[in-house]
Amino acid sequence: MPLYEYECSACDWRWEELRGAGRADQPTPCPRCASLAERQVSTFIAGVRPRPKVMRSASASSHSAGCVCCAPRR
């Protein structure tokens, strides 16, 4: 069963809920205030890691040649 995110416009509570795909877009009662809440766009991203920043300062010289943080980006 898929996990969906919902946000209540009455109390600004945001939560996740397991629901069948056929009911995903139907409003659901807020667990905090019982007002009907709408499904939100999920912020979950799988398998993405931020790239390390390339150091451009004098401290970069203390790193070994070819280290990940000093290597040029491709």
From the number of C-beta atoms within 10 Å of its C-beta (0-12, 13-18, 19+), residue 30 rates as: buried
Query: Is 69 contained in some domain?
Result: no
The model's confidence at residue 65, banded by pLDDT at 50, 70 and 90, is low
Question: What would the pLDDT profile of 1-59 be if each residue is shown by its tens digit?
Answer: 888 999 999 999 999 999 998 998 899 999 999 999 999 887 665 555 555 555 555 44
pLDDT for position 60 = 46
Give a yes or no: residue 73 inside a domain.
no
Residue 19 lies in a domain: yes
Residue 24 inside a domain? The answer is yes
- Whole domain around residue 9: which residue ranges? 3-42+50-62
Judge whether 15 and 6 are in contact, CB under 8 Å: yes
Total structural domains within the chain: 1
User: Mean pLDDT, to the nearest integer, of 63-70?
Assistant: 62
